[in-house]
Structure formats: structure tokens, C-alpha cells
Structure 1
Amino acid sequence: MRERQLIGGELRGTVSDAALVQPQLAWWSKSEDLRLASVRMRAGLLMPMLAQRGIASAWFKAQDASRYRCVVVSKRYDDDTVSQLRRFKRHGGRLVLDLCDNDFLPRSQQEQHLHHVENLRLLATLADAIVTSSEPLARVVARECPTASTAVVISEMPDDPSIVGTSLWDSAWSRWAIAREQAHLNRVAPAGVARLLWFGNANKRDQQNWGMGELARIVPMLVDLNRVFPLHLTVISNNARRFREDVAVLMPSSRYIRWRPSTVEAILRMQHIALIPAQPNEFTACKSDNRVVTALRAGLAVVADPVPSYAPYAEVIQLGEMEAGLRRYLSDPHRRSVDASRGQALVAQSGYADRVLTKWLDVLAL
């Protein structure tokens, strides 16, 4: 048995002798950067688990395309990708289209973005199998591509940021950084101050309907609540400038922390309540449950806007109107603590990762 190595955000090496053979499965994502949650949870974490089952996989390389038996494509809708996958199919390869967002909604009305949606429809009809991260997204596929295969819903693997490669220096630095953040919270948010958390990708300034734009939408509500309940907000993201301009200017009792794989889980566990705002629209309706699961695994209470995939957790989180839900937890810390414990137990149930892997094995048909 050989151990896996991860260097510079990419998988290196293997986890078993079975995986030393030529990869029969390729993952072709928009990026190979394991710091991206979608890449990590829908490809990177699956690779070593598949290797343990004797299925070698790797990131797609055009020069090796003729050797692959199956390709899983995700978030690639350019003409070159479509052309290469047509050739792959003509030579008998199996194609799986993996969707974790409603990419049938164009980013803009520019010709390039509209063309990407058309290419997505082409890939859907070309694919031997389609995987989506949620039931609503599977229904979107059926509506947009009625002649395509019926989509199979497969949730993300439970997250494990530690698979992102870090240097020895970064590991040492992270221990200092975690201690620093704990000391900071003990000083600015001692007993009696509710520690709120928002985590996620900031996204671009013109994408105000998701990312940090969603957080900015509820900051005025947090400011009002802070007049009654002592609050401190921690934001874990990838854009300090957006935080300063959209959040900190209104809420002085807040702190930005850059997302790092070596510190994120420890810092999550220091908080009390995770905020997951999501304005109802065709994009957020298709989101998976991974943000709720990540927060509950860290032992946090969760207050979230209603998203269909969050419904199974309704008994252990505050799901619905965010201000009302947050008020309930701030007014009743015992209820908050009980729900956080119950939620953590719910998502810790054994077999979750194995069930995800079994579904992927059925879809890959290798």
C-alpha cells in the first residue's frame, strides 16, 4: 500500500497498488485546484476512495484520452471540450456529466455565456449518465434537456480540507494562527457574546445574488440585532476587500479570515452559529446541502434561508426567515446548543461517504 501525497493543491501518488496502473477514469473539471470546494468534494475526495476499490483515476489529459474508459466532465462548456468529448464518445468511451450548480442560467446575456449554455445542453444529450448534487437540479436537467438521460442525484462527499497540500512551514504557521484566532475571540467575544459565522466564496462584484453579496444583504439585520444581543461576526472567505466594503463598514464587531485548508476546520469549531443566507431564485434553489453539513459537522447551530436541500435538517436547524430564526437562538442559548449537538450527531451517522461512493460506482459502470 502506498500513501497519497498532495502537492500544490493537486493529487500526487496513489493510495493503493491497484491505482498504479494506467487510469481508466478521468475527471475533467474547470479547475484542478483542490482549494475549490466543488473540485475537492466532487472529485478530489473520490479519487483515493475509488483507488481503494481498484479504480485508478486522474485529472484529464488530452494526450491520454484514448486510454480512458470513462470521463467525468464538470463546469467545462467551451467548444474545444465539446469537440474532444465527441471524439472520445465515437471511440467508445463512457461520458458522465456532473452538475453541482444550475449552469443552465447564463452568467450574462453576452454571446459567450449564452453559447456555454447551448454547449451544456449538447453535453447533456451526449452524456451516457448525468449526475446532479440535488433533486431540484435534476428536475432542471429534465426540463432543459428532455431527451437526455435521467439525472442521478449524488450528494457531495463530507468535506476534508486536509487533502489540500500544505508545506511544513504552513503547518507550523497554522498552529500559531489557530491559537491567535482563539485568543482574539476570547477577547472580543467572551461568554455572553454570540459568535456568528459566514463562510464561502466571495464571488464577483456583479454576482450580488450569491457569495458575499448574500451576506451583505443581511448585515443591516445583524446590526439591528446587535443593539439587543451582543454579536461578533467572523467571515471566512477569499476576498478581504469585499469584506471591508460590504460588511465591516457597517458591522465593526466583525473579522475577516482568509480560507486556508490548515486552519478552516479549527476556526469553524470556535464559532456558535453559522449563517447561510440564500435569496430564493432559480440558482439557489438547486444548491446542495454541503454548507449545512459542513457547519453541523463542526458542531455549529445553523440559521439558513429555505433551500430545498436543507429540508431534511429542519428539525435541527433554524430554516426559514433568517431574522426570526436567529432571534430564537440568541434568546435561547440552551436550544441553540441542543440543536447543534443533535445536528452534529445526525451528519456523523456512519455510512454516508460509503453511500455516496456506491452511487458513483453505479454511475461510472467500470
Structure 2
Amino acid sequence: MKIAWVSADITPTVASFRYRALYPSFALADQGIENGYFAVRDAKIERLKDYDIVVFVKTISHVLTAVMRELHERYGRKVFLDLCDYVTHPRYGANTGDLRKAIILSQAPYIDAIVVPTEQLRRVLSASLSGSIPVVVIPDQAETRALIERTRNFRVERPTHSFVELRRIIRPRARLMALKSSIGRTRQQARESLLSLRILATELSRAPRSVPARLHQKLRNSWTSRLKKVALPAVAGRNQLPADQVRVSRFKGGKTLIWFGNAGSDSFQSGVQTLTLIASDLIRLAQTVDFELLVMSSRSDDYKTLIEPLPFPSRFEVWSQEACFEAVKESDAFLMPQIEDEFSECKSANRALLALSCGTPVIASRLKSLEPLKDCIVTDDWEAGFRRYLFDKEATKADIAKARVVIEEQFSAEATGRKWLGLMSLEKPQHVNTPRIVVFIHLLQDVHVLLPLVKVLAAGDGKTSDRYDIEVMLLKSVYLQQPDIVREIVDTGARLRLLKEETDEGNLRTLDVNSASVLIVGAETSLRPHRLVHAAVLQANDLGIPTISMQHGLEAPGLSYFDDRHTGDVKIASSQIFTYGDPVRLPREASADLSPRCIPVGRFAPSRSQHFATFQSNLEALNSRQLPVIAIFENLHWHRYEPDGYRGHFSAHIERLTDTFKEVFFVIKPHPAGVWLQKNPRMTARGNTLLLRRDDPKFAGVTAADLLAVSRAAITTPSTIAMDAVQLGRPVLIFANTLDLPLFEPLEIGRCYEDIEAFASRALDGRANMDVVSSFKSKVLAPGRVEANIIREIDRLLKTERRSALK
């Protein structure tokens, strides 16, 4: 029997070809079956007709329909389509899923079966294609040293195309494409050389005496590699360095954690970006464990942008099959974070299998594709995984031993080969146009406004969770300030697009709002800090896409707050503005066109973060006498605090307060973008005072809600913190000095130290005026549940747009 394997690229460095064609062909060759390999451009009927079975590996094209038809109808050959991804999902790749689905359905009469690596992928493809083609599961084979050796010796004769090559030489376009390809290779080589130089410099700084010998070996290996390239013809799958010359860098004196895989696309669901899911776990691990994270992939851009800046040791190495195998083997654990969504849960467990085959334990996100390995890896508990595999050698050995049994039974060459042999004898729902809501998180402060909104939209109305297709755009700068936000977003079930490129108001290409049904943003004005999101809203407006901005604070510039700097000239472009309450309370300086666009929906009550328990524990340790806690907050807009000496008075009053109330523990939370209280060294010199520094990992993720939850009362500058305190039922005083603050009435306003001291005394004695708290809440917030109000208004907006489109 003869089998032809057709793939877009028949190079073993391409994972889909290696796992879904090359490794199965090795197993079948051991059973006496002859194999042939063809690139798509060489898949001509005159060559394929000589094979009994033709397997098209991840190749979906109308061009192949005629070939499949002739193979099936004229020559009676069996035709299989092997797919390793959920390619028919409407948003697969560049939104080409529906097109791929149409192509496969058109080829259905000529395809005997579709072959997939996981049961999850079988289910979704069967449903997507309405059962028109049988779908069979044959898992990926676990990669071993023997497979790597066999791959290194793999070579395939490529047909010559003298006429085609001559035509390419003559045609200017072909010459240009060849030149671009050459330039691309040169750039890649330059990047790899620079990376090697950086690694060498790092090694020199760590161990200068041992570098000369390693430098000599690197130069020797480099020249050996160059000589091999000259002496040997370019052969698909030929690795340049034999196994005994592959150098594995190991972190001196500590543990090594490894992640390897494809660099990924701009989609968040794959590649190096998935490491951002566990960034905060790694940051916390670095506080107690000496480790280095090794990232191996085809390119380093995402690593340099998203991982290298994080506060723990890490390095990048360019992936190659042999180098990766050796690096995994020498590492203490393989990390496999992933989003448990409809794409990822369909993917193969081949990376985990490789690690386990190397004797390296695996810590992973919980995915259905890892179900066969559930008893020999740690899933969804990174802290427990680190504790088990970095410090418990016996547990590690036990898990690896169990894994080897599973691999032998289900993922070995013998096991997968039997399934392919069984396949040889095999005889031969409509997509709903769900509204796509895009939520753009532009500033760190947006998180508290938009993350609760994303949770509500992703949950729908409580009856259905697929009411909307939610996509969150997140700027890299927000992630770097608060790495936890990545996990919090994906846990809602929304799709996340992490914007890595530098984007400004003149370059909106990366935002790509064209296909949105609605665009929702946080702070959006013509002011400098908001210009990018303002430009995005203007672009969406021009495209006829409804835009919604959420009231960002009690005093929102351009909406509810104005001064000499924030005048009525501040523009808000959003077609709808979701406000806390009735727009009749807008100040007279507000533009006349604002009120008709304002829709009162209320405000989400602030909720505790995942750091609350840790924060509470740390606070109890610092406040060893268990004194009552009073929280102190500051605001952002410094300029308003200068004319009347506000900052000086506020700082002096707080210092006096902490000296007066020795039996009270004061916790000060600076504003993330202001931090002027943090710059006062005298503020932290008192034993009953704690400053939550933004640059302290122990407190970086602590929110206002976390602090208010452990406090008796709050003292704040004019800030939305007052609203937080009211919604959490805490008495609050706003220090005004000489400022006029009508938006905060009837809450308690402090204008001198005596006002602050009297408020603190009442709060500590249980005599706080809670009537003003209740009065303020009913005055400022719209009636009803904010969740229901928002869904009602978005549905109304979508219905209006649909009616307009029909007209």
C-alpha cells in the first residue's frame, strides 16, 4: 500500500507537517507501507493517482477540489483531510472560517473522512459540517529522541521545475519576491546573531571565568554549522547540528522553567502571549524562588514586549527541534498556560507529551485535550504546581512514571500507528450572526469601569451566555502595570486582543473596529491622555458604528467636572454616554449636546480583587495590635491642589492625624497615576501608618475596594473613591480646603484639620452619619440594577441600528 501526504510545506520545522504527516508516516513505514510527500503546488493528479490513499494535511483550497474529485471518482482512491485546528469557526484566522467551511462542504462528496488529533475537535467539526463527513480521532504521537533522530535523516526529493524557475527569473515580480525573501532571511539571521550576543554578554556578567571556553565552543559550533550549510544541499527536515553539539544553557544556582511553542499570531489565543496569563504567578514565585524562565520560539518580538520587562529572570532562545528537546529535558518544569475556549480546547496535547517524554513535569491550564494526562500533571493551580515540581522529587518521579504508561498506551508510535491502519479500512448547524461588542481598555483606570461591564455582557441576561460576541482590546501598557488583568478578562469568556504595537491617534490600524456592532470605551475626551480612544470613537462614528463611553468618575472632565484647564471645549465624541445618574445634575458648563446623549444606568459596586485575602493577611501582620483601620486616598489632577496650598494642607493634616490617633492604623493608597502622597517620606515614618506603594509587588494589585473592606472609614481628596465608599457602606469625608464641591453634597466635607479629626472620632465611636451616605447614594445613582439597565440599553441600541440598516 502507498500513501501520499500533501501539505502546504513539507518541512519538518512546521509542526502540522511534522506531527500530522511525518510522524504517522514513520509509524506506517514500520508496517511496510510506502509513503510519498508532496507540497501543494506539486499535488498533480498524474503523480497522486499512483497512491492508494492521499492525505491532505491542513490544506483547504478550492484549487484542490478538482484533484480530489478525480482521485475519488476516476481512480477510486481514498481521500482524507487532516485538520489540527478548528478551522471552520467563523472567526478563525482573519475571519476566514466561514469560507473554509464552504470549501470543505463543497469537497465533502470526495472526502472519505476528516482526521483530527482530539475528541473536542471532532465534536465541533462534526457539528459545524452538519455530519456531512465522518470525523475520526487519531492523536498526535509523543515526540521522542528516536523520532528526532529519524526526522534529522528525513529528506525528500523535490521535483524540478525548470520552466517555472526560468519564468520566475524572467518575471520582475518573481525577482522582487525572491529579493524580499532574501532580505527576510538576512534580517532573521541578524536578529539571531544579536540575540546570541546578548545571551553571551549576560553569561559574561554572571560567570566571566567560564565564558572563554564556552565562547570557543560556540564559535566552533557556528563554523561547523556554516560548513554543513555549504557542503549539504538544502533538504527539507535536515537539522544543521547533531544532537551531541546542541548547547543547552542552564540557569546557574536556581531552577529553570520552560515555555516553548509557535510565536503565535495577533490572536491572543496562541503563542508567547499566553504566558501573560500567569505573569502575576511568576512574579510572586520570584519573591521566594530563584528561577529563570526560558522561552523558545521562532521569533522574539512578543517575548521582548511582554515577558522580558517583567520583574523576574528570563531569556529567549530561537526554537529548533533538537535544541528544544534538550532544553526541555534539562528544565525543572514545562509551563503550558492557555485559555480554555472553543479554540484552545480543541488543540493537541503534543507539547505536554514532549515534556513528559523528556522526564520534565508539566504545569498547565485545564484543557479538555489534557484529560488523558490529568493524573500525571498539575492543572489550573500554578502555586501548587511550582511547589510540587520544584521541591518534591518523589512526587515528580511518580507523575513522570504514570505519564509514561499513558503515553505508551495512547500516544506511542505503536498506538497511533494502529489507528492509522484502522483508518485505511474505513468505508465511507448554521452560524448565528451574533452582535460583536468591542470593549477598549486604554488606561489602568479603565479596568475598574470596564471589567465589570465585560463580565455582565459575557454572562448575558442570565438565560444565555452567547447573547453577544465580546472582544476586549487591551493596551500592552495596562497589562504591564497590572498583569492580573489578562487572566481576569479571559476568565469572563470574552475574547482578548492584546495590542502590542505602539498606537496613536494617527495610526488606528491595530484597533480594527470595522467589524464591531458596538464600540464601548471608558474615559473618552479630546484631552491628551484620552486622544487615542477619542480617535477610535471618531473612526467608529464615521463607519456608522454605535459608540458608548462609560462615566469614568464622579468628577469626569468634559462631562461632570470643569475648571480653568478642563473647560467646555473638552469634547466627548461617543454617540451614547452611560452615566451614573440623571443628566439633569450635569453642571452648567457642560456642552448642550451632552445631555441628549446621556443614559442613566447606575454604577457597578466595587468588588474585592483576587489579592484581597493576601492583602488582609499582610495587613494583619503589619498591624500586629489589630488597631482599627482608616483608609486615606488621593486624587489625580494635581493642578487643582496648588492655588490654595491644598496639597500642603492635606499632607500636614494627615501627618497630624496619624500623630493624634496612636490607636488607629492608617493605610494610605496613592492614586496609580498621581502618587504625590508616596513622594512624602515623612508619611511612612510612623509605626501606625502603611503606604501601599504602587511599585511594591505585595500591594501592586490591591484595589480601593480591598482597602475599604478592611476599613472603618475613608478620608479622600475629591475623588470617585467617595462613590466607592458609599456603595460599600463606609462613612467618608472629602477634604475640600477652599474648593467648591457641589457634586459631593450631602457627604461630609472637611475644610480644616478639626473637621477631619471630628469625622475620625465619630467613625471610630460608631457615631458616623450614615444618613448622608444613603441620601447621596439615592441622589447620584440611577434606580434599578446596573446590570439590567446596561443590557436593556445595549439591546435597544442594537435594535435601532438593525431597523436603520433595513431601511
* TM-score, length-scaled by structure 1: 0.82
- Hey, what does 2:119 align to over in structure 1? 135
Aligned residue identity for 1:57: N
Identify if the C-alpha distance between structure 1 residues 351 and 294 changes in structure 2 by more than 3 Å, giving closer, same or farther. closer
Does the 8 Å contact 1:97/1:123 carry over to 2?
no
Distance 2:424 2:33 in 1: 10
1:346 positional shift: 4.2
For residue 99 of structure 2, give the secondary structure of its aligned residue in structure 1: helix
Distance 1:197 1:162 in 2: 22
1:133-183 alpha-carbon deviations (Å, 9 max, x no partner): 1111111122112342432211112223334447784665764442xx3xx
The 10-residue stretch of structure 1 (297-306 or 30-39) with the greater mean CA deviation from structure 2: 30-39
Does the 8 Å contact 1:219/1:251 carry over to 2?
no
- Hey, what does 2:73 align to over in structure 1? 90
- Hey, what does 1:237 align to over in structure 2? 297
Instruction: Give the gaps of 5 or more residues in structure 2.
Output: 154-224, 229-238, 427-807
Aligned residue identity for 2:345: A
- Hey, what does 1:29 align to over in structure 2? 7
Distance 1:281 1:125 in 2: 31
Does the 8 Å contact 1:154/1:356 carry over to 2?
yes
1:82-161 equivalence runs, <5 A: 82-91=65-74, 92-107=76-91, 112-124=96-108, 126-159=110-143, 160-161=147-148
Identify if the C-alpha distance between structure 1 residues 343 and 251 changes in structure 2 by more than 3 Å, giving closer, same or farther. farther
For residue 76 of structure 1, give the secondary structure of its aligned residue in structure 2: coil
Identify if the C-alpha distance between structure 1 residues 351 and 106 changes in structure 2 by more than 3 Å, giving closer, same or farther. closer
Does the 8 Å contact 2:9/2:17 carry over to 1?
yes
- Hey, what does 1:221 align to over in structure 2? 281
- Hey, what does 1:281 align to over in structure 2? 341
1:245-296 alpha-carbon deviations (Å, 9 max, x no partner): 1211214511212112232222211101111111111111111221221110
1:357 positional shift: 0.9
Distance 1:300 1:79 in 2: 43
Aligned residue identity for 1:254: S
Identify if the C-alpha distance between structure 1 residues 81 and 317 changes in structure 2 by more than 3 Å, giving closer, same or farther. same
Residue of structure 1 aligned with 2:371, choices 288, 311, 322: 311
Note if 1:73 corresponds to 2:73: no
Residue of structure 2 aligned with 1:198, choices 259, 267, 288: 259
Aligned residue identity for 1:273: A
- Hey, what does 1:38 align to over in structure 2? 16
Distance 1:201 1:111 in 2: 20
- Hey, what does 1:16 align to over in structure 2? none
Residue of structure 1 aligned with 2:382, choices 314, 322, 328: 322
Pairs aligned (count): 335
Distance 1:285 1:29 in 2: 24
1:284-335 alpha-carbon deviations (Å, 9 max, x no partner): 1111221221110111111111111212222211022434433444464543
The 10-residue stretch of structure 1 (320-329 or 66-75) with the greater mean CA deviation from structure 2: 320-329
Identify if the C-alpha distance between structure 1 residues 106 and 203 changes in structure 2 by more than 3 Å, giving closer, same or farther. farther
For residue 45 of structure 1, give the secondary structure of its aligned residue in structure 2: helix
1:224 positional shift: 2.0
Does the 8 Å contact 2:68/2:111 carry over to 1?
no
Distance 1:226 1:100 in 2: 36
Does the 8 Å contact 1:124/1:130 carry over to 2?
no
The 10-residue stretch of structure 1 (110-119 or 151-160) with the greater mean CA deviation from structure 2: 110-119
Aligned residue identity for 1:231: F
1:212-249 alpha-carbon deviations (Å, 9 max, x no partner): 11123322321122112222111121112222112112
Distance 1:175 1:240 in 2: 26
Identify if the C-alpha distance between structure 1 residues 174 and 244 changes in structure 2 by more than 3 Å, giving closer, same or farther. farther
Does the 8 Å contact 2:331/2:360 carry over to 1?
yes
For residue 293 of structure 2, give the secondary structure of its aligned residue in structure 1: strand
For residue 315 of structure 2, give the secondary structure of its aligned residue in structure 1: strand
Distance 1:350 1:103 in 2: 25
Distance 1:196 1:208 in 2: 22
Identify if the C-alpha distance between structure 1 residues 275 and 351 changes in structure 2 by more than 3 Å, giving closer, same or farther. closer
Distance 2:406 2:366 in 1: 19
Distance 1:226 1:148 in 2: 52
Aligned residue identity for 2:324: V
Distance 2:369 2:86 in 1: 14
- Hey, what does 1:259 align to over in structure 2? 319
* TM-score, length-scaled by structure 2: 0.39
Does the 8 Å contact 2:27/2:414 carry over to 1?
no
Distance 1:351 1:216 in 2: 30
Distance 2:30 2:403 in 1: 30
Distance 1:269 1:115 in 2: 41
For residue 233 of structure 1, give the secondary structure of its aligned residue in structure 2: strand
Q: Which has the higher contact order (CA 8 A, sep 6+)?
A: 1
1:41 positional shift: 1.8
Identify if the C-alpha distance between structure 1 residues 111 and 83 changes in structure 2 by more than 3 Å, giving closer, same or farther. farther
- Hey, what does 1:5 align to over in structure 2? none
Distance 1:207 1:171 in 2: 32
Identify if the C-alpha distance between structure 1 residues 161 and 246 changes in structure 2 by more than 3 Å, giving closer, same or farther. farther
Aligned residue identity for 1:104: T
Identify if the C-alpha distance between structure 1 residues 319 and 123 changes in structure 2 by more than 3 Å, giving closer, same or farther. farther
- Hey, what does 1:246 align to over in structure 2? 306
Distance 1:326 1:162 in 2: 32
Does the 8 Å contact 1:133/1:156 carry over to 2?
yes
Distance 1:266 1:112 in 2: 37
Kindly name which structure, 1 or 2, has the bigger radius of gyration based on alpha carbons.
2
1:120 positional shift: 2.8
The 10-residue stretch of structure 1 (354-363 or 343-352) with the greater mean CA deviation from structure 2: 343-352
Distance 1:264 1:111 in 2: 32
Identify if the C-alpha distance between structure 1 residues 324 and 350 changes in structure 2 by more than 3 Å, giving closer, same or farther. closer
- Hey, what does 1:363 align to over in structure 2? 423
Does the 8 Å contact 1:273/1:303 carry over to 2?
yes
- Hey, what does 2:361 align to over in structure 1? 301
Distance 2:102 2:383 in 1: 40
Aligned residue identity for 2:86: N
The 10-residue stretch of structure 1 (120-129 or 167-176) with the greater mean CA deviation from structure 2: 167-176
Does the 8 Å contact 1:125/1:145 carry over to 2?
no
Aligned residue identity for 2:120: P
Identify if the C-alpha distance between structure 1 residues 337 and 196 changes in structure 2 by more than 3 Å, giving closer, same or farther. farther
Distance 2:7 2:128 in 1: 22
Identify if the C-alpha distance between structure 1 residues 163 and 243 changes in structure 2 by more than 3 Å, giving closer, same or farther. farther
Aligned residue identity for 1:34: P
Identity of aligned residues (%): 27
Distance 2:367 2:403 in 1: 17
Identify if the C-alpha distance between structure 1 residues 231 and 142 changes in structure 2 by more than 3 Å, giving closer, same or farther. same
Aligned residue identity for 1:82: T
1:87 positional shift: 2.5
Aligned residue identity for 2:13: R
The 10-residue stretch of structure 1 (56-65 or 349-358) with the greater mean CA deviation from structure 2: 349-358
Does the 8 Å contact 1:299/1:340 carry over to 2?
yes
Does the 8 Å contact 2:116/2:136 carry over to 1?
yes
Does the 8 Å contact 2:372/2:406 carry over to 1?
no
